Structure 1
Amino acid sequence: MNKLEYAVHVAPSKPVVSDDLAPGEDRRMWSPTSSTLIYGTRDAILVDPLFTTAESRALVDWVTAKDRNVTTVFVTHAHGDHFFGAPAVLDRFPQARVVAAPGVAARMDTQR
């Protein structure tokens, strides 16, 4: 019987371009974001491939170091910080499928 395991990758916070700052603040930060790798002995599912290309390339390096083949990229919800990085993941794992629930997929094109 194959055992499933998981690991979580956290991308650090990053500055947000905004003129809507709290009193006394000189910049606004985007919260750290995470991606989860669910894996067996060979294959893996990657949950939420992060926001930026750079973050997702670092994520792919992290996955590659674990010597797992990503077969599926699962998007949990239709916010860009959970799926904009998918192309960088697919560059490294071109056979992987990006999947989401129908309601999520229907709203993904509203993020720009």
Structure 2
Amino acid sequence: MTDLTTGVRRIRNGTILTVRGELDFHSAERFHRALREQALAPGEVFVLDLGGLEFCDSSGITGFITARNRAVEAGARIALVNVPAHTARVLDIMGLGPILPIHPGLDSALRDGTRPTGTAGA
């Protein structure tokens, strides 16, 4: 089991939250705490960088939806980057691509969150 760690980086037009380790029932509260600590503003982008995600269960998927809802409430947009194939497959099966846009990298996510270059099935 790899502990969940998060890191935050503010950028010119938003926030990047990096996620590493296992996002599951046992670590979901840490992830939710990290989400609550982020101040989002209208027009910004909230990027979840999942490149270090080793495992994600339904608690993690719920966390992604929570992050999306927080972004929408703030007038910001959300983008997922570096999504592991196993997690992208689950998001695709669940039909979450339209609300959790997956981008191949940070540049794509920052360019235009309304038209992702990839979807959950990518």
Q: Which range, TM-score by smaller chain?
A: 0.3 to 0.5
| Larger Rg belongs to | 1
Higher normalized helix content (fraction of residues): 2
TM-score, structure 2 length as denominator?
0.42
